[in-house]
Amino acid sequence: MQIYAINGSPRKTWNTATILQNVLDGFAESREDALTEMIDLYSLDYKGCVSCFECKRLGGPSYGRCAVRDGLGALLPRILQADALVIGSPIYFGDVSGMLRAFLERLLFPCLVYDKAHSSLAPRKIPTAFVYTMNLPRAAMEERGYPQRLAAMESYVGRLFGSAPRLLHVCDTLQFKDYSRYKMEIFSAEEKARQRELEFPADCRRARELGAALAADAAGEA
């Protein structure tokens, strides 16, 4: 049973990647036949949708598929055949990272049919999840309406893959090890260190539980 984790952070070992790895581990712990793979978007060479509409051209060779041949060309069809998908991003200016946004344009647009039924050309209905990591504490995240802003992309993923994605918001993350070396006076280094020591492990546990829940969803046990 295959799950892919899409890492929309440029950092391959920091908050988002760590949370995603915990989701993969939770998935693997629940299934003997689990196959897990992390895909680091920032290691790939690609652009967002170029609006060629080849994926919508009736009778065309790329109908329902992305026609662009670049670093995502071979990957997108592989991802669409997965049994589960977890998508992770740091929050940049209140939204997902630019690389994740570009990836989602390329993954989702070929699956989207402009008909009254909002049909999907995704070859499989699969369970999905979004995990977000961000600097803001939870109350400030709610106050600024991040969950509402992020809901638009989540609803496309839900519609195209058959069910609403599971969600995990990881707040108040540590941005770097030594706050004294950067101009960041509005943050308390002590508070961030405490958060990292006490809250982040709990977030990692939640991520493992999320992985287990995705495995159950994929096995039709939910």
Ligand X SMILES: Cc1cc2nc3c(=O)[nH]c(=O)nc-3n(C[C@H](O)[C@H](O)[C@H](O)COP(=O)(O)O)c2cc1C
Tokens 């699969």, residue located: 126
Q: Which of the ranges 78-86, 100-108, 134-142, 177-185 carries the binding residues for ligand X, by CB under 6 A?
A: 134-142
By CB under 6 A, residue 91 contacts ligand X: yes
Cα 212 to Cα 210: distance, rounded to the nearest angstrom: 5
Residue 139: both structure tokens together: 């109350």
Tell me which of 65, 76, 86, 90 binds ligand X, using CB under 6 A: 90
By CB under 6 A, residue 14 contacts ligand X: yes
Least distance to ligand X, CB of residue 144, Å: 8
User: Among residue numbers 105 through 124, which ones bind ligand X (CB under 6 A)?
Assistant: none
By CB under 6 A, residue 96 contacts ligand X: no
Q: Which of the ranges 10-18, 29-37, 58-66, 76-84 carries the binding residues for ligand X, by CB under 6 A?
A: 10-18
Taking residue 17's Cβ as centre, other Cβ atoms within 10 Å add up to 21
Q: Which of the ranges 43-51, 90-98, 148-156, 179-187 carries the binding residues for ligand X, by CB under 6 A?
A: 90-98
By CB under 6 A, residue 93 contacts ligand X: yes
Q: Which residues in 153-166 are b (16+ Cβ under 10 Å) and which e? A: bbebbebbbeeebb
Q: Which of the ranges 61-69, 89-97, 106-114, 155-163 carries the binding residues for ligand X, by CB under 6 A?
A: 89-97
Nearer to ligand X, 11 or 56 (CB): 11
Residue type, 25: D
Residue 208: both structure tokens together: 């493992």
Cα 85 to Cα 154: distance, rounded to the nearest angstrom: 13
Tell me which of 2, 15, 21, 30 binds ligand X, using CB under 6 A: 15
Taking residue 172's Cβ as centre, other Cβ atoms within 10 Å add up to 22
Taking residue 70's Cβ as centre, other Cβ atoms within 10 Å add up to 14
By three-state DSSP, how is residue 79 classified?
helix
Residue 183: both structure tokens together: 């101009």
Tell me which of 3, 68, 75, 134 binds ligand X, using CB under 6 A: 134
Tell me which of 135, 142, 184, 212 binds ligand X, using CB under 6 A: 135
Least distance to ligand X, CB of residue 62, Å: 33
Nearer to ligand X, 53 or 191 (CB): 191
For 176, counting Cβ atoms within 10 Å of its Cβ (0-12 exposed, 13-18 middle, 19+ buried), the class is: exposed
Residues forming contacts to ligand X in the complex (CB under 6 A) are 9, 11, 14-17, 90-94, 133-136, 173, 175
